[in-house]
Amino acid sequence: MQNSARYPSLHGQGVFITGGATGIGAALVRAFNEQGARVTFADLNLEAGSALVEELGGAPRFAHIDLTDTSALQQAISDADSASTLAVLINNAANDMRHRPDETSPQAWRECMAINLDAAFFAAQACAPILARRGGGSIINLSSINALLGPSNMPGYVSAKAGLIGMTKALAKDYGDLFVRVNAILPGWVVTERQLQTWLTPEEESRWMEQVALPKRLMPEDVARLALFLAASDADMITGQSFTIDGGRT
Ligand SMILES: NC(=O)c1ccc[n+]([C@@H]2O[C@H](COP(=O)([O-])OP(=O)(O)OC[C@H]3O[C@@H](n4cnc5c(N)ncnc54)[C@H](O)[C@@H]3O)[C@@H](O)[C@H]2O)c1
């Protein structure tokens, strides 16, 4: 990653990243790998996950699991810790499904929470004692500025992302005595391949550029740079906080 700081405290550290096969998650995998961290990422997408492992010369470990399967998630975290003692957890996976409130079934709502909120909690629950054993560590939750703006047709995603901000505060207190730090990142519209293919039309992008202070694309690598800092010992006294990275949109 160009123009990135080096964080010696991350070198050799075990890092577990959810949803690391594509988008921001893949940028996180690349960024931590480049710092010499020992990365495990978990994702449903076999093809993209395998391609990323190959791109990085086989360096990261890839757990091909559904994160809503809590036993599989717990097992993947335990395996990752056995391979390289975990110091960092990044709860990045999400599904930004669109749905109208009046058309949302109880099952669809639960499925939305399962990936966007529950998986982050159970990953943190599984990692906290592991991080505590080595004297502390860092948990980073990927929320969104949508938790603040509340756009229409995604009430489940918005609720889950707002929940992650609350969970970040709560777990920072619960795990503070263990020196496990918990922080959240709230990105604005990040230009991933999927966003380009699905939602980010030229019209939407020019509307976004009118709303931000910095009229420049926000890239996955920008988010990864913030995550590196929050994971490193440089951020040792920062916990329970939410950091917005949105080019000044909010
Ligand atoms: N891209 C943006 O503009 C943006 C803006 C604000 C916040 N965020 C947040 O940043 C994070 C990453 O965003 P992104 O755009 O890269 O997401 P994305 O949808 O492009 O990628 C998410 C990854 O999670 C994986 N995943 C989804 N459900 C899974 C499951 N059940 N089990 C295992 N893996 C699963 C997907 O396969 C994918 O690789 C998310 O938490 C998202 O909410 C993104």
Per-block mean pLDDT, blocks of 10 residues, the chain (250 long):
88 98 98 98 98 98 98 98 97 96 97 98 98 98 98 97 98 98 98 94 96 98 98 98 98
Q: Whose CA is nearest to atom 36 of ligand 1?
A: 19
Per the structure block, which two tokens stand in for 102?
Answer: 């009046």
Residues that are catalytic: 157
At residue 4, the pLDDT reads: 81
Residue of 43, 98, 217, 244 to test ligand 1 pocket, by largest number of atoms within 8 Å of CB: 43
Ligand 1 centroid vs 19 CA: distance in angstroms? 6
Q: Is 56 exposed, middle or buried (0-12, 13-18, 19+ CB in 10 A)?
A: middle
At residue 125, the pLDDT reads: 98
Ligand 1 centroid vs 63 CA: distance in angstroms? 16
At residue 163, the pLDDT reads: 98
Could you tell me the domains of the chain? 8-242 (3.40.50.720)
pTM here is 0.98
Using CB distances shorter than 6 Å, the residues near ligand 1 are 19, 21-25, 43-45, 66-68, 92-96, 115, 142, 144, 187, 189-190, 192, 194-195
Cβ neighbour number for residue 53 with a 10 Å cutoff = 18
Pick from 49, 56, 51: nearest CA to 17: 49
Is residue 91 within 8 Å of 18, Cβ to Cβ? yes
Q: What is the largest CA-CA distance in the chain?
A: 51
